[in-house]
Copies of this chain bind each other. A is one copy, B any other.
C-alpha cells in the first residue's frame, strides 16, 4: 500500500506546535533516522515524512495530538539499534519518526536507594557514566549503545542476565504518553521497591515495542558494580545442559555469565579480528565463557574467585564435561565473545536467528539445526553462540558473500530454525523483541487468547492506530 502524499501544511502544523528547530524534514537529511544504526538484514533505508524531536513530556503530547489529528503514524525511535526493524520507518508509508534523543537530561541518581530516574533518550553509555561515580550500574551487557527508553520497550537481556536479570527486573516505574483520545500521561515513576498500591502499569510498557505508548521517563533499580571478577574459557564438546547445571551449583550467586561460542563462530572471529584462540588444538566444538564476580567489599577477591572457577572446572573435567580450560583475564575473554558478531559479518552473509529453548533442549536443538542445514544447504555454516545459561542462542547461519542464499534457501533455513524452536516450546524472539521482521511468527506462535487480548490492549490505548511501526502485529494500520 502506498499512502497518499502528505501536504506540506501537515508538517508545518507540527513545526508550529514544537517550534521549527524541533522538526526535521527530508531536505534536512534524515539518514540518521532512516537507516538502522546496525546492519539489519531484511531492513533497508526507510523514508520518514519528518522527524519530531520533542524536549519534554508536554511536547510528546503535542506530537501525538498532531498524529491523531492528521492520522499520521508515528514510529518512536531511540538509538535505532533494534534488530527487528521496529525503530526504522518503512520506505513507502506516511510515517513520522518521534526521536527521543532530546528527552535526555542528566539522570537523577539516588545512591542510598540505588535507583535512577532517566529520560527515555538517555544512552546506556551516558547512564553508566552518571552511575559509575556512585559505584552503581545497570547491569545489562550489550553489543550496542541503546537508549533506556528503547531498552525498556524491547526488554533487552544481554550476557549477564543469568545473575542480574533482564531490563524488566530493573524497571521500577515508567512515564508514558498514550495516543488515546485524551493523550493521557501515565505517570508511574515511583522508585520504591516495595510498592503494591494498585495495578503496576509500568510493566505494561516493558517489551511493548512502542505500540502502546511513548515512554518518556524510566525509574530503574540499580545494582552495585562488581568489585572483583574472574573468567575462564572452557573447551568442551557440546555438553548439553550438564555443564550449566554444574556451574550454577558450584558458583551459586557468583555466577555472572555463562556464554557459549561454537568452533565456527570462534574461527571466523579470530580470523577476522586477529584474536588468539587460547586452546592449542584450535577452537573446540564449544568454548564456554564462565564469569564469577562479587560486589562484596568484605567478600572474595580475584584470587578467591579464580580458585572458585578452578574448582568448578576441576569438577567438570572429572565428570568428563570439560576437555581443557584456561583462566583468562576478563578483558581478553570478553573481547573474544564480543568479536563474534562482527567476525561473522566479515566472513560472509549472515542469516541470524535470536531464539531460546529450555536448557535441556540446547544440545538437541543444535544437533537438529546442524544436520538439517548440512543436508539442505551444504555450503552454509552454522556459527552459533549465545547465552547458554539462560537458554538463549544466536543461531547464525553463514554463507559465502560470493554465493549468498537464494530466496528459496533463506526460506528453507528459516523453516529449519523456527521449526526446531517451535518443536521445543522455544521462543522465536529471545531478546530482540517484536517488529516487522518477525510479526508473522507472532501470528503463528501466539496462543489465541493472548493474541486477542494483545490486540484489544492496543486498541484501548491507541484507538486510531497511530502508534508504532506499521509492521507490528497488533491492531490494524491507520488508514492514511
Binding site for B on A (CB under 8 A): 110, 112-114, 135, 154-155, 157, 161, 165-166, 168-169, 178, 182, 184-188, 190-201, 203-204, 206-208, 211-212, 224, 227, 241, 244-245, 248-254, 294-300, 308, 311-312, 315, 356-360, 387, 390-392, 425-434, 438, 441-442, 445-447, 449-450, 452-454, 456-457, 460-461, 473-474
Contact = CB atoms under 8 A, between A and B. Distances in A.
Contacts of A169: 165, 169
A391 B194 contact: yes
A131 to B, nearest CB: 15
B252 A113 contact: no
A418 to B, nearest CB: 11
A428 B194 CA distance: 10
Contacts of A166: 193-194
Contact of A356 (B194, B248, B446, B461): B194
A336 to B, nearest CB: 22
A446 B197 contact: yes
Contact of A430 (B191, B195, B208): B195
A301 to B, nearest CB: 12
Nearest to A356: B194
Please give the count of copies of this chain that the complex contains.
2
A60 to B, nearest CB: 13
Contacts of A251: 296, 298-299
A110 B254 CA distance: 22
Given A200-B155, A204-B203, A453-B186, A195 B356 contact: yes
Nearest to A246: B297
Given A191-B358, A252-B295, A200 B206 contact: yes
A426 B191 CA distance: 9
A471 to B, nearest CB: 14
B428 A197 contact: yes
5 contacts: A113-B360, A157-B196, A199-B457, A253-B296, A298-B312
A165 B194 CA distance: 10
A299 B192 CA distance: 32
A208 B192 CA distance: 18
A188 B445 CA distance: 11
A345 to B, nearest CB: 22
A450 B198 CA distance: 9
A195 B453 CA distance: 18
A258 to B, nearest CB: 12
A373 to B, nearest CB: 22
Contact of A445 (B197, B356, B446): B197
Contacts of A449: 178, 184-187
Contacts of A135: 249
A394 to B, nearest CB: 11
Contact of A227 (B191, B204, B252): B252
B294 A199 contact: no
A101 B58 CA distance: 49
Given A161-B193, A253-B296, A453-B184, A208 B203 contact: no
A197 B391 contact: no
Given A195-B427, A254-B299, 18 more contacts: A155-B196, A157-B196, A165-B169, A178-B453, A190-B427, A194-B430, A196-B431, A196-B432, A197-B434, A197-B442, A198-B434, A198-B450, A199-B204, A199-B208, A199-B457, A199-B474, A201-B454, A224-B252
A208 to B, nearest CB: 6
A311 B315 CA distance: 31
A311 B300 CA distance: 13
Nearest to A443: B198
A391 B312 contact: no
Contact of A199 (B201, B253, B454): B454
A253 B461 CA distance: 40
Contacts of A204: 199, 203-204
Contacts of A426: 192
Contact of A112 (B194, B241, B250, B294): B241
Given A245-B112, A298-B311, A358-B110, A157 B194 contact: yes
- Highest count of chain B CB atoms <10 Å: which of A195, A196, A244, A312: A196
Contact of A434 (B112, B114, B196, B297): B196
Contacts of A434: 196-198
A362 B300 CA distance: 31
For the complex of A and B, 4 pairs with smallest distance between CB atoms = A252-B296, A252-B295, A194-B430, A195-B427
